[in-house]
Structures are given as C-alpha cells and as structure tokens.
Chain A
C-alpha cells in the first residue's frame, strides 16, 4: 500500500527536480486563452462610468442620451443617487454596446450630477489628517521600553515608510458573462474560481448550481483578484438585459485607479542598543492609509523583535481608492520600517549590519537558526565581508557603491483544497481541482505530485483546473495554493493508487500492501521482477475507471518560512539615480517541489521588489482628488535594463525538506525594498526615508545631510 507521506530524498524521482511549466507552450505560442481573449458569438462590450470626484454626493443620473447612442444594448445604474462616493473611481453606471468604441462613446454621454464635497487624498500623518479622518489601530507594549531606552548606550530616531502602489496587473480585471436560460457562465480573470461562483450566485440571487466560473489562464493578480467585484455582477446583469454575452474588462486607467492599491505605512521609530550591539528597545508610532476603509495593523517591529517595545498604529482615512491585498500584505512596508531603523542603529553604534543582525538573531524567535544560516549564505554569495565598508568611508567621485541587507518571513500553509483523481482503464490519469494557476506553476506542481505518486512522468498526467465545476478548492492567495493542491492531489492520487493496487494484487500473486508503483510499473516492492507495466495494470480495471477523492491535510504541509536578501547598488550623487548591481536571495520554503518554478518565483519577486523600491508609486493630486499617473508611462515598472544581476539560493535538504510543502509566492517580495534602501544609505551615507527611492528623494536626502553637516 502506498502511504500519503512525501517520499524520502532517495525515493523522490520528480520532487525537487527542475521542470518547465506544462502550460508554457500554450502561453509562449499565444494560444492560451485568458478571460480577456474569450470571444463569444454576438458578444457585446461593456464599459463603466466612474466618479470623477474623490468625494461627492450623486444627485442624479441621466442615462437617456447614452441609451440612444449607436450600438447600445443595455444600461445599468450601479450607484444609488443620494449616496456619497468616497473615491474618484467609484463605479456609477455600466453599459454594453456592439463594439468597444461604441461603448466608450456611450459612456461619455451619461450625465451624472454631483454635489462635490471636500476630500483628502494626500498621504498625510494622523495629525495633519485631523479629527474624523483617523481610526485607531492596535497598541501594544512588552517589557519596559522607557527604562530600556533610558539605559541604552546608543539611541537613534527616524521616520521610515512606503507610499501607495497599485497592482497594475497586465490583464485588467474583468470577465465575459453569458447566460443560457437561467444558467450563467463567467470567464473571469480571477484568483478565486471556486469562491466567486458563490459570490455571483448571491449577488444575482440565483442558485449557486446555476453559476459556472472559469479561469484557465489569468494575467496577474498579486492579491487584487479575489472577489467578483462590482463589475462581475454588473456584467452579468448587462448580459441578462441585452440577452447577449458581454465582455467587460477594465480600461488601463480604471485598473490603476480602482482595482488595486497597496496601503501606505509610515512610522516614527526610536530604538536603542548596548555598546556591544545588543538590541534593547523599540518604540514606534505608525500610520498609513488604505483609502476610506481604514486598514490593518502592520507587524512592526518586523521579524526582529526587541525585548522591550511599544507600538501604536493609526489608520488615516482618505478619499483614495480602497486598498487590496498586495503580495505579502503589510510585510514589505513593515520590513522597510524595521530593517531600515535597525540598519541606522547599527551604523550609529557603529557596527557592520551583518554582525549586528547575527548578534541579535535570537530576537527573530524560533527560526533564528535558519536566519543565521541564510544570512551567512547570502553574505558568502555577495562577498559581504570583502565588499562592505562603513557609510563614511566612500571613495571620492560622484558614484557611490553600497551594500544592504534584510530578512523576512511569511506563513504559508495550505488553502482548503479538494481533488479527484481518475485512473482510466487505458492508463491515462486525470486530476481535477477547482483552484487556478496564476502563473506560479500550479498546473505543473499538480502533475508532478501525481506523477511522483504513480511513478509516471509529468506528461502522463492530465490536469484540469480553474473551473467551478471541479472540486472546491481555495483562492490563490497568501502563498497557500501549493500547500493546498499538493496535499489534496497527493491524497487523491494515493487513494486512487491503493484501489488500483487492490485490483491488481491477485494477478501478481501478492498482497496490495506489498505492491508499489514506480518507474512506469506496478510491482512487488521486494521483488521488482514480479511486475506489470502501468498500462497492463490499468487494463485490469475492465470498463470502469477508478475515481478517488482527496482533501488537503496538514501532515503534508507546513507554515512559516524565512529568507535573507542582500543588495549591492551604485548611486550617482549628481543625478540621484540608483542602479542595482546585484541582489542575492536565500530562501527556505520547506520541501521544494519544482526547483525551476521555485527559482522563477524568487526572481520575479526580486524584480517586483526593485520596482516598488525604486520606481512605482500611485500619485494623487490634492487639488483635484485624482490619480495623476493611471497609465503605464508614468506609473513606472522596471524594464529589462533596470534590474541588475540576481542570484537565488533555495535552502533544501535536512532541516527543510521534512517540514513538507510551504508556499513561496509572498516571502521573497518582502525584503527587496529594505535591502535596497539600506544599500543606498550605505552608499551615500544618509537615509532616504521612504520608498520608492526616486532620484529627487536621493538628492533631497543628500542636500539635507549637507546642510546639517552629516555627509
């Protein structure tokens, strides 16, 4: 009998090796069909009219002229007159027309009367925001921060933070909806195929069994595509009214204005250490905005928790678009605040930050040993000890070089996941799971786990995912997908295999317990000569395939990972331009299933990290209340020439593998902002307090330091 546990290292034949992704050919040949690519017979194009005011009361909505525009087939009011809109971008009207251009023309003909109200869109402190514009977050205290701070040999104080960024998914949010009598099919760009089916049924008041949602491919979500959103039901309603399928994808500016934002977080930090580098106290007051709805409590201090500490957080309520989960919610911002403050403390002692972090590693908690190993590994890769110099010892000349480091954590675990595995009499194998592949390699992982279980190559497994008709399986968020689907697949496949072994055992004159499936054979484990091929074994099933279910179980997965990253940058002190020379990333995530796609996840996270560290920021205009850069010219993403050299090392083997599978999507995106900021501070001798580190901020920091005689 096969058991569920992951095989030991010497028995793995697929797990941990490198495989190209199964859907790679479909994507790189342009044949993969995303929601945006679905074209149905008679399909209309939907557009939404958004509020152009950040805060206003909608007095009246007049769609009469729009309804008479050429090609218009359905108009839907999405917002109740008399209510207040709280951000520019609130959806007011949706309509559908024969062509996209006609829908755009008609959207311009909608007349909405607003009573404009005062707004706040600037990213300000709670004091500046004023009464009624804040909401108290958590306050916590441990030990005696005041006494510890008073007794500290070295104290520093600073303000650090990260502004608002958007998700900027390349495939905009949206969907195609089609009715057949009272049954709805929705092709959506979604991270949550199973979940949005239920959401749609509720919003439309139809039985959940009448809704089918499909996401075969999706062009980026990063935490912003969990819900059906206002436009999901609106699209279905337009479709119903018009009696035609409707495609409604957000325009690029709408995507950047309303479909995703990572909240800002800032903090005033005071912290102290002993002369020997021992961290003794942390005191911080943090704030930030997630738009009109407040925001969560950031995990500050992050990872490295001083023994005596006080923290207080306040959310600022503004009229910017609402925040959404952005890859590792709250972590990158908290990481910048904490790691930059610690780096400044190390510089004030003065001490090499690597030595400082190693000395205080116990404050990272139970995973201190891993962090220790990871820091040493990263230092070795980037030659830290050879290259690092104190802030004040730069060569002359305008271009300065610097090194910075950061550590991070994430949970992971596995989402609720159900899988079915079918073994057909002809030997073919199918796995069905409702979850979707965001581009992380989920399809490939599922085939790999099933292949490992059956002793078959990946190519022998058919993976069916991304459809609410398949067994319910969780949203892809929080790095929980790989844990969820690998566990459910393993259990479904093992259950199916055990049924097969029971059928086949008599033909091999053995007990099912004595059999194994390996190397394309079903054989007696202790006597591999007594064997039949996989096809021969499956042929014994006669006409009826085996179908077995499996559910995510906690014994196959784990939670809680760490990583260390180090960056080397050069900064031109005349232009303020930061150039990434190299970033090294050392990461643990338990049992690595596919080495190739695991490394791709980390590389991708580093590139996203460079982007948020140096380039991207959602800029709001206080005068008009509008976003100033809702496009891809001025909302800047890093290009190929901006990224520098990257190296990745995955921690695997004893101490890591036996923890089981843990997700990798979030953790490596947490540290780049802090590591890069610390490298810039090391290079120019002064802190650029907030990310993104734009040339203007670099020059301002240098100027500020020059005027106070610090650099």
Chain B
C-alpha cells in the first residue's frame, strides 16, 4: 500500500513512517519541524509528569526555547475560510480541536495515530491526518474539512461520485476517503485505475467499499475535468 499524502504517510510495508512533517518553510510564521517535535515531546508527557508533580522541572529545562503550555493556549485556526479563536492545551490534536471544540465532526476519530485516514483534512491543499497534527501547529494554514467542500445541502463532485457509485456503507470512513480523493485529484487530475488503487492506500474501510471508492475516484476525476478525461 502506498500513499502520496505528505504527513504521516504509510511506508510500503504498511507500517507508519516518520512522524508528521510540519512544513519547514513555515518557519517564519509558525513552528519549525524541530521546535514542533521538541514541543510535542514535552507536551505529550505532560500528563504523566503532572501526575507526579515534576512539571516545574520539565518546564524550566525547556525555558530557553519557545515553550507554550502545558496549560491552554490561545490559538486561531482558519478552517473552511473562517477564522476560529479557541484555547487548547498544546497536546490537543487538530482532530480533537475540530471535533470537540468547534463541533466540526466530518473528520472521524478511528485509530487516532495516523494509520486509517478517517480523520483526513487538507492543510494548504494537501491531505493530512488531522489526528497526527497538533492544533497549535495548524495555525497559519488554510485548513479545509469535508464541510468546506460544498455548502450544506450541496455536494462536491467527489462526494457526488461517492453517492453515485455507492462508495459507502456505514459511512464512517467516507469523509476521510472523500478528502483523500479530493486532495489526490488535485495532484493527479487524470489518474489511471492502477494509480488510484495505489494512491488511495492511506485510508482503510471495514465494510469493504473499495470497489465503489475506486470507481468514484475515477468518475470524480472526469467530473472535475469537465468530461475531458
């Protein structure tokens, strides 16, 4: 299985590869990959440290770098063209911020560790696993969730193709797949059957809707290119 999304892509053996890559080029505006990982290291263990009363020590040693948290931090996220201000602990993932703080629930929480793709959203037009991106690190990016693909009551061409080809059963993997296909087709507007098969390996379904997903992806490519393909 292969997958072309940037962060948290799967390796060819199906395991998870490197940790999510937060784009280095956003250094000036946000967090570099290095500081992100450093920050993440501290905050991930914050719960345990706090429980043992050693928090002050940990905070002190990291005081020379740009440290936030472990308490709530005010952040602004630009989601589907709209700015949202909220306060989250630095350990809160983009997925949890979307679902639990902003009630934007299209992205689903399934594996919560970058394996299944149910939480796929787009950051700067590229697919990411939102369970593997911290909310604080998603600032300054244009975030698109499935709700942002079309107005309520309307369907994006990809969503429409999913309905037409019955590329969904229980539907819990569907929003993630729709986002993965949408992002994939931006990079590969005219894919072959084989390319789609390989390119959508980063999302998992349990009901077994892959036949429809593959047809939907190919059909959506045609819909998006206005019948050119």
Contact = CB atoms under 8 A, between A and B. Distances in A.
Contacts of A217: 170-171
Interface in B139-165: 145-147, 149-150, 152, 154-156, 159-160, 162-164
Given A27-B168, A28-B178, A170 B212 contact: no
Contacts of B203: 639-640
B15 interface: yes
Interface residues of A, number: 63
A606 B105 CA distance: 30
Interface in A146-173: 168-172
A637 B113 CA distance: 15
A36 B1 CA distance: 28
Given A252-B112, A603-B211, A105 B50 contact: yes
B209 A604 contact: yes
Nearest to B168: A27
Interface string B167-209: 1111111110010000000000000000011101101111111
Contact of B170 (A172, A218, A603): A218
A636 interface: yes
Interface stretch (B21-29, B60-68, B91-99): B91-99
A579 B111 CA distance: 26
What is the interface of chain A mostly: helix, strand, loop, or mixed?
A: loop
Nearest to B102: A39
Interface stretch (A300-308, A397-405, A425-433, A641-649): A641-649
Given A219-B170, A641-B197, A36 B108 contact: yes
A171 B166 contact: no
A60 interface: no
B100 interface: yes
B89 A101 contact: yes
A520 B46 CA distance: 65
Contacts of A603: 208-209, 211-212
A604 B159 contact: no
A619 interface: no
B51 A30 contact: no
Given A101-B92, A597-B166, A632-B115, A28 B208 contact: no
Nearest to B211: A603
B77 interface: no
Contacts of A130: none
A47 to B, nearest CB: 12
A179 interface: no
Contacts of A36: 105, 108-109
B128 interface: no
Contact of B163 (A20, A105, A638, A641): A20
A171 B163 contact: no
Give the residue among B154, B163, B207, B209 with the most A Cβ atoms within 10 A: B207
Interface string A587-626: 0000000001100110111111000000000000000000
Contacts of A170: 108, 110, 116, 118, 170, 172-173, 204-206
Contact of B206 (A23, A101, A105, A637): A637
B79 interface: no
A494 interface: no
Contacts of B174: 27-28, 30
Interface of B: 1-2, 14-16, 47-48, 50-51, 89, 91-92, 96, 99-100, 103, 105-113, 115-116, 118, 145-147, 149-150, 152, 154-156, 159-160, 162-164, 166-175, 178, 196-198, 200-201, 203-214
11 contacts: A23-B171, A27-B168, A27-B175, A28-B171, A30-B107, A30-B146, A45-B100, A105-B51, A170-B172, A439-B171, A603-B209
Interface of A: 20-21, 23-25, 27-34, 36-37, 39, 45, 69, 99-101, 104-105, 108-109, 168-172, 217-220, 222, 249, 251-252, 438-440, 596-597, 600-601, 603-608, 631-633, 636-643, 646
Given A24-B163, A168-B206, A603-B209, 5 more contacts: A24-B168, A25-B159, A28-B162, A170-B118, A608-B208
